[in-house]
Amino acid sequence: MTSSPLTFGIYPLSVAGTPFGLAAGPDDDYKKIQLALQDLRGNSKKLFPRNYLIYTKEWEAKMFANADRYLESNLLGDLTIGCGDWTHTQEPDIELVNWLDFIRKVINKYGSHLASLQITNEPNLSFMEGSRSYIMQALVEGVIAAKKEAQLLNLPIKIGFGSVPESPASVPHFWGNLSKSGSPTFIHSVDFVGHNFYVDVFEDQPLDLKEIPVSVEHTLRDLRENLTTVGIPASVAIRVTENGWPTGKNPVANIERSYERQSAVLETVIRTIYKLRIELNISHYELFGLRDADSSKDDLFHQYGIMRDDYSPKPAYNTFKQLIQEMGL
């Protein structure tokens, strides 16, 4: 048993969100998912499924149907509630009362099965949730409402919110604006901050393997500094909530991305995070994801998995399994 181990998690399903809609393929096989999760965690380690609900008023019934399916399949561990339809340019402003009510309903119905609830997934990504004018208010009030509801029901659910690294695609001044929009109540309601980042995925040229630890460390140190700006203390954990390295082709550089390289990059990233876990208070690493959306399609959005779409493992599957056994809680 290692000291201060990481808690591991994984997105267990196949559909992947993209800037252009959804990447999808063969249906999920819930029996094969359970077999893979059990194999990855072994007999002694934890591996939390991480799933998503995306709230719009029109999608509410569908989201509860999805959550019911996750519950039936034992896939409610770490849950993220995203906010708004970023593919719909004419989407109306969110009705805040309905948004907060949705959060409360989720906690009431599924809270006893949840380890954590993350409010918003990528609120500072300019072409996703961050494109919505209401996102800051939805984030702040959503976190407060979630924390109050969990406490009211005496549920030990960890409450957090999401983020992505600063870049030309991120929302300008997000952290400064969050500092202005937040409050002591908001700060005290935050148990963790999730960070979605993908190293050596969208660059024009591939990074050398030796450059990857530097990129990972820079990303996580930047986040901790931004949280300090907001007033979120170092005692609040960082979670790496989405990270992965898809196979297939880079859509910009048209470079083939091999299975062997996926395994090497993921191991390098995870070992770097493990090295930084105590200094930066990083509690979780959650991989995106278990299987490809569609292994027959070359573009990387369809090939994020450490398994193919028929649930046959890529080399990274065994690498991830070994790292869970070595470093996991």
Residue with tokens 């799933």: 51
pLDDT of residue 247: 96
User: If DSSP codes are grouped into helix, strand and coil, which group holds residue 255?
Assistant: coil
Q: Give the residue, 129 or 20, on which the prediction is more confident.
A: 129
Lowest-confidence pick of 84-98, 104-118, 300-314? 84-98
One-letter identity of residue 172: P
pLDDT of residue 120: 98
pLDDT of residue 12: 98
Q: What is the pLDDT of residues 266-288, one digit of tens each?
A: 999 999 999 999 999 999 999 99
Q: Give the residue, 138 or 255, on which the prediction is more confident.
A: 138
Residue 17 — pLDDT band, cuts 50, 70, 90?
A: confident
Q: What mean pLDDT is reported for the chain? A: 94
Instruction: Give yes or no for residue 315 having a pLDDT over 70.
Output: yes
Asked if residue 126 lies in contact with residue 132, where contact means CB atoms within 8 angstroms, the answer is no
Run of H or E residues at 282:
strand 282-287
- DSSP string computed for 218-242: HHHHHHHHHHHHHT--TTSEEEEEE
Instruction: Give yes or no for residue 235 having a pLDDT over 90.
Output: yes
pLDDT, average across residues 121-141: 94
Q: How far apart are CA 69 and CA 64, in angstroms?
A: 9
Residue 249 — pLDDT band, cuts 50, 70, 90?
A: confident
Q: What is the pLDDT of residues 166-175, one digit of tens each?
A: 999 999 999 9
Q: What is the number of residues in the chain?
A: 329
pLDDT, average across residues 3-14: 95
Q: Give the residue, 16 or 52, on which the prediction is more confident.
A: 52
Residue 299 — pLDDT band, cuts 50, 70, 90?
A: confident
Q: What is the pLDDT of residues 62-84, one digit of tens each?
A: 999 999 999 999 999 999 999 98
pLDDT of residue 91: 61
Q: How far apart are CA 329 and CA 324, in angstroms?
A: 8
pLDDT of residue 1: 39
pLDDT, average across residues 304-309: 98
Q: How far apart are CA 252 and CA 259, in angstroms?
A: 19
Instruction: Give yes or no for residue 36 having a pLDDT over 50.
Output: yes
pLDDT of residue 197: 98
